[in-house]
Amino acid sequence: MSKKKVTTYIIMADGKGTRWNHYQGIEKHLIEIDGETIIERTIRLVSQFDPNAEIIVTSHDPSYTFAGSTRYEPLNNQLEIDRFTVELIDTGVCFLYGDTYYTERAIRKIVKKHNDSLLFFGTAKKIVAIKVTDEKQMRKHCQHVRQLYLDKKIEKCIGWQLYQSFEQLPFEKRQIKGHFVLFEDETIDFNTPKDYKKFLRIH
């Protein structure tokens, strides 16, 4: 199989954000760090390390239209696994999370590293990016995880279950096998106001 350089970055920002609960009257993707929202930071860093990048932000909110990117409204967003917008899955895309704060080092690694199938980036707790060099594999495992969840055979259907399906790992516990770039202190998740307050104390 010939390799195709990833040039399309899809920033997923169409979640419900129930745990964030509209804290301080904003959505978590619009948290500002040093005067810049975290989603705009991601757009800027991707463009910095991949000047030829096409950047798409998936959201039904018209206010999620940012310079340097195109907003796209997903056709289906019922389950968490649907955030990997099926109609946008293609060979040569990279999925990123709109509610994740990425360091420059993290984005540089995501842009530069490649393989010939699927490549996952994350911590021991969360997947923060997936690069797709084989769209058939991505579609296959998204559908597999979705069906397992609908059949009540797994409790969640997020990035980790996608990785477990791809690597044929048990769903009962999280473990890393291959096709995975492990981050330590290179990303921060803002799922709850507590996460944000903790970040402000140490930033």
At residue 17, the pLDDT reads 55
Q: Name the CATH topology of 8-134+178-202.
A: Spore Coat Polysaccharide Biosynthesis Protein SpsA; Chain A (3.90.550)
What is the DSSP secondary-structure string of 102-133? E-HHHHHHHHH---SSEEEEE-SS-EEEEEES
9 compared with 16, residue with greater pLDDT: 9
Nearest partner of 8 among 137, 111, 103, 114, judged by Cα: 111
124/43 Cα distance (integer angstroms): 25
CA 127-71-78 angle, to 5 degrees, is 55
At residue 196, the pLDDT reads 76
For residue 130, what are the β-bridge partners? 95, 120
User: How confident is the prediction for the chain on average, in pLDDT?
Assistant: 89
- Which tens digits make up the pLDDT trace of 33-66? 888 999 999 999 999 999 999 999 999 999 999 9
Q: Is the pLDDT of residue 179 over 80?
A: yes
95/34 Cα distance (integer angstroms): 25
For the four alpha carbons of 182, 120, 110 and 142, in that order, the dihedral sign comes to negative
Take residue 166 and report the two structure tokens written for it.
């791809």
Neighbouring residues of 147: CB distance < 8 A, sequence distance ≥ 6: none
At residue 1, the pLDDT reads 43
Q: Is the pLDDT of residue 165 over 70?
A: yes
pTM above 0.85, yes or no: yes
Burial annotation 157-179 (CB, 10 A radius, 16+ → b, else e): bbbbbbbbbbbebeeeebeeeeb
For residue 189, what are the β-bridge partners? 100
> Given pLDDT bands bounded at 50, 70 and 90, which one contains residue 169?
very high
Residue that the structure tokens 């920033």 belong to: 11
At residue 114, the pLDDT reads 86
92/32 Cα distance (integer angstroms): 30
Distance between terminal CA atoms of the chain? 44
Q: Is the pLDDT of residue 197 over 80?
A: no
Domain ranges of the chain: 8-134+178-202
